[in-house]
Amino acid sequence: METVKGYGVVGGRNGRDKKMAVSIPSQGCELLGAYRVAVALKDCVVMIHGPTGCHYGPNFLEVLSNNLLSSGTVSAMRDRSVIYGGIENLEKAIAVTRKYYKNKKIIVLSSYVPSIIGDDLEFVDADICLDCGGFGPMWQGMEKFLEHIGDFIINEDHSKNNEKRQINLINLIGFQEDVAGGKEDLEEIRSILHLCNINTNVIPDSLERLKYAKHAALNVVFGYGIKLAQKMEREWGIPYVVIDYPYGVEGLKSFIETIHRHSGFNFDISQRIFDEIYDRLKRYRDYLPLFYEASACVVGDLPRISGLSRFLEEELGMNVELAFETSSAIEKFGVPCSKFVETYEAFADEMNNSDPKALFGTDEERRIRSDTIVLAFPSFTRMSFVPYMGKGTLNLISDIYERIIRDVWIK
């Protein structure tokens, strides 16, 4: 796992503190990736089978991201379970969870300790079980859980396989709602597709809604969920496309045209979707040259920074000097930029020698620049109720303008 070096203070002898080198992970583990997808299923409770420490990190990020009652819990393995096995402890935890969450399905994600000691989840009384004890990065955990959802869809709906597919329905797979403004971005995309008379089914949303997944005419994968889409193509012949995040007007146009091209839907791409953005920007056209060649740096998951960098360079005329991916993907998206670094340590070194007009990234980048535009996971240091996509492009341009003009104004 990629890390960046830092320093921490620990208690030394005679009450004296010592400064020691520590490593801060620049991306989460496989378990966290699976957990992020699982907690998006609104009709489920997610139980991490493992020690309390394995649950603390994911649960901490979940609660900080949405401030709602967490839908996660833990089997709380102890030392004794490591020796004698943790299944008995897990079954007791599931029984208690079912008592208090009567209308919820239960998902069990097995962490590293039970995976190493060989706990067998096959006969556990849970609706979905998945071993996440691999030491892969976060994006592989997201892919793994989404692929496992495919098995659930097949097992639940095999008996109804002859139902007629709804030709005006598409599945939106893997869109990350657990970042600041993520839910608003998704709603904006869905509302725009609705104007084109396209219905949408989001995966993940709930286990109940998964029963509609096989009726879709097309699967649209936002970077993660490719293995699920491939499984659905084999099972029901549903084609799929893999896209990055559609930032900007041209990004949105390309997104809609891709759906038009691959779905076989007969619809007109309404110009009114874009006219409102253009009309509002006309009032500020004299300020737009401020964006030209303005330097920017981007950090985040690969599908996001791919679409974001293209928007910044091709639509705003900015210069993306530096990019770093916190999470990779199966699809190798291109990221328009002057320099793409492979490690966070290299990114931090480059930032020490540069002063970009705008920095886009995660909560971690706010340690470098307090005015970072946070739009990638994790993002609990930013509160947002507005989208950055669709008509929300105006919100994104406004936030970038504020960073640029502030620098100009102070000088």
Output the pLDDT for position 75: 83
Would you tell me how many other CB atoms lie within 10 Å of the CB of residue 21?
8
**CA separation (Å) from 398 to 126, 188, 284, 287, 386?**
47, 18, 10, 11, 12
Looking only at Cα atoms, what is the longest distance across the chain? 77
Output the pLDDT for position 172: 98
Three-point CA angle 178, 109, 185, nearest 5°: 15
Q: Where are the domains of the chain?
A: 30-136, 156-275
- The CATH architecture annotation of domain 156-275 reads 3-Layer(aba) Sandwich (3.40)
> Mutual orientation of helices 138-157 and 226-236 as an angle, nearest 10°?
20
Q: What's the rounded Cα separation, in Å, for the pair 272 and 289?
A: 25
Report the CATH superfamily, name and number, of domain 30-136.
Nitrogenase molybdenum iron protein domain (3.40.50.1980)
Output the pLDDT for position 160: 56
Looking only at the bridges linking them, the beta strands covering 240-242 and 218-221 are parallel
Radius of gyration (C-alpha) of the chain in whole angstroms: 23
DSSP designation for 125: S
Supply the DSSP string of 219-247, one letter for each residue: EEE-SS-HHHHHHHHHHH---EEE-----
Q: What's the rounded Cα separation, in Å, for the pair 97 and 18?
A: 43
Q: What's the rounded Cα separation, in Å, for the pair 66 and 74?
A: 19
Which pTM was predicted? 0.88
| Same fold flag, 30-136 and 156-275 | yes
Output the pLDDT for position 158: 55
Residue 62: strand, helix, or coil: helix
**End-to-end Cα distance, the chain:** 41
Q: What's the rounded Cα separation, in Å, for the pair 119 and 113?
A: 9
Output the pLDDT for position 161: 52
Cis peptide before 378 (omega within 30 of 0): yes
**CA separation (Å) from 144 to 12, 74, 148, 209?**
42, 20, 6, 20
Residue 10 pairs with which residues in a beta bridge?
A: 18
> Is the separation of the CB atoms in 212 and 232 below 8 Å?
no
Q: What's the rounded Cα separation, in Å, for the pair 399 and 392?
A: 11
User: Of the candidates 283, 340, 294, which has an alpha carbon nearest to the alpha carbon of residue 317?
Assistant: 294
Output the pLDDT for position 19: 46
> Is the separation of the CB atoms in 170 and 198 below 8 Å?
yes
Residue 257 main-chain phi, psi, to 5 deg: -65, -35
pLDDT in tens, the chain (411 residues): 444 444 444 444 454 444 444 444 556 889 999 999 999 999 999 999 988 777 777 667 666 666 555 678 888 888 887 888 888 889 999 999 999 888 899 999 998 888 888 888 888 989 999 999 888 899 999 999 999 999 988 887 655 555 555 668 999 999 999 999 999 999 999 999 998 889 999 999 999 899 899 999 999 999 999 999 999 999 999 999 999 999 999 999 999 999 999 988 877 766 777 888 888 888 888 888 999 999 999 999 999 999 999 999 999 999 999 999 999 999 999 999 999 999 999 999 999 988 999 999 999 999 999 999 999 998 988 888 899 999 999 999 999 999 999 877 776
Output the pLDDT for position 10: 40
Question: In the block, which residue shows the tokens 């401020």?
Answer: 290
User: Of the candidates 144, 135, 199, which has an alpha carbon nearest to the alpha carbon of residue 168?
Assistant: 199
Q: Which H/E stretch holds residue 301? A: strand 295-301
Output the pLDDT for position 306: 97
Output the pLDDT for position 274: 83
> Is the separation of the CB atoms in 127 and 105 below 8 Å?
yes
Output the pLDDT for position 350: 94
Output the pLDDT for position 273: 77
Tokens encoding 215:
């009726």
